Amino acid sequence: MNVILAESAGFCYGVERAVRLAAQTAEECGGCWMLGDIIHNASVVEELERRGVRRAEGAEELSCGDVAVIRSHGESKEILGMLAQRGVRCVNATCPNVMRIQNLVAQAEQEGRQTVIIGDPEHPEVRGIASWCSAPLVFDTSDAVIRWISGQKSPCGIPVTVVAQTTCIRELFETSAKILKNQCTNLKIFDTICNATHRRQSEAAEISAMVDAMVVVGDRKSANTKHLTEICQERCRSVIQVEKADELSPDFFHGCSVAGLTAGASTPAGIIKEVYATMSEEIKAAEGKEESFEELLN
Ligand code: F3S
């Protein structure tokens, strides 16, 4: 019985940097603030709170002299403006990959181009990116891209700039880009899916295709973890997404000879280790269960 652990499972450098900056800032400044959860992982957020990183729901709760750490997903132009206006000092932990997209979108706006973002319109990263231009279009399905392009003249001569949410599923981005390429005569496409995400998704696809059961670890609010689960479900019949090791039960591994394990970008190594250890035990327990059932038959 084997557990295959994805090498790319767990914290990406952007998340690791944000968590480190938040803890460091709280220590240096005798406490600091985060706006909402700095990353999508409850146990990491609780640990940061213990270290003095307080949580505010909005910029209006902060005042002059406060220090706020900007999360890896970035913030909207309006929120950053509001923080500056209120005299709040910002420590920018926005992932450089997200900042690059914000700059691309601002550049497109300056050049009078229509911005198209392929991603989830409700995700904080996308809301932040969208704020750097005046009227972005955000599509989370290729059908939505088709609907929009069908409403335009054919061929479509509008200058269009396309970017992707850093954690977008590659297949969605590529299909959307292809549809737009076929119809638009003035198109700039920037593949802004981050390398860490790409690697994590490819490895999840590869492992889930060769195992009997696949475990994905990550917070239920985490978009990149949800995408990993979807990718695995397309290739493996038994997929479970858990936040912690205690959500696993031997029944899930019944009849399983090899299982895979991956985790979202905001899952700390400690949780992955616990899940790995539990899986090894659960698989053994499930094997034991099968043997005693055999004994019963005999
Ligand atoms: Fe940055 Fe990619 Fe992580 S965009 S926050 S390195 S998933």
Res 294: pLDDT: 43
Best of 95, 123, 193, 203 for a ligand 1 pocket test (most atoms within 8 Å of beta carbon): 95
The answer on pLDDT for 292 being more than 80 is no
Instruction: Yes or no: say if 260 and 238 are a contact pair by the CB < 8 Å rule.
Output: no
Residue 296 has a CB neighbour count (10 Å cut-off) of 7
Res 290: pLDDT: 45
Res 288: pLDDT: 61
Does 14 contact ligand 1 (Cβ within 6 A)? yes
**pLDDT for 203-213, tens place per residue?**
999 999 999 99
Q: How far is the CA of 169 from the centre of ligand 1 (A)?
A: 14
Structure tokens, 231: 């990718």
Structure tokens, 171: 């297949």
**pLDDT for 213-265, tens place per residue?**
999 999 998 989 999 999 999 999 999 999 999 999 989 999 899 999 999 99
**pLDDT for 110-139, tens place per residue?**
999 999 999 999 999 999 999 999 999 999
pLDDT band for 97, please (50, 70, 90 cuts): very high
Of all atoms in ligand 1, which is nearest to the CA of residue 197? Answer: 7
**pLDDT for 144-169, tens place per residue?**
999 999 999 999 999 999 999 999 99
Phi-psi region of 213 (alpha: psi -120 to 50; beta: other; left: phi over 0): beta
Average pLDDT over residues 31-49: 93
28 flagged as catalytic: no
In the β-sheet with 67-70, what is the strand arrangement from edge to edge? Answer: 53-56, 32-35, 67-70, 89-92
Judging by beta carbons within 10 Å of its beta carbon (0-12, 13-18, 19+), is residue 204 exposed, middle or buried? buried
Catalytic residue, candidates 7, 27, 61, 125:
125
Best of 15, 195, 200, 224 for a ligand 1 pocket test (most atoms within 8 Å of beta carbon): 15
Res 282: pLDDT: 79
Q: What is the mean pLDDT of the chain?
A: 93
Res 291: pLDDT: 41
Helix H or strand E segment including 138: strand 137-139
Question: What interface predicted TM-score (ipTM) does this complex get?
Answer: 0.98
Of all atoms in ligand 1, which is nearest to the CA of residue 72? Answer: 5
Q: Is the torsion defined by CA of 35, 37, 39, 44 positive or negative?
A: positive
Strands 160-164 and 137-139: unpaired
Q: How far is the CA of 53 from the centre of ligand 1 (A)?
A: 21
pLDDT band for 286, please (50, 70, 90 cuts): confident
Phi, psi angle pair for 152, to nearest 5°: -100, 165
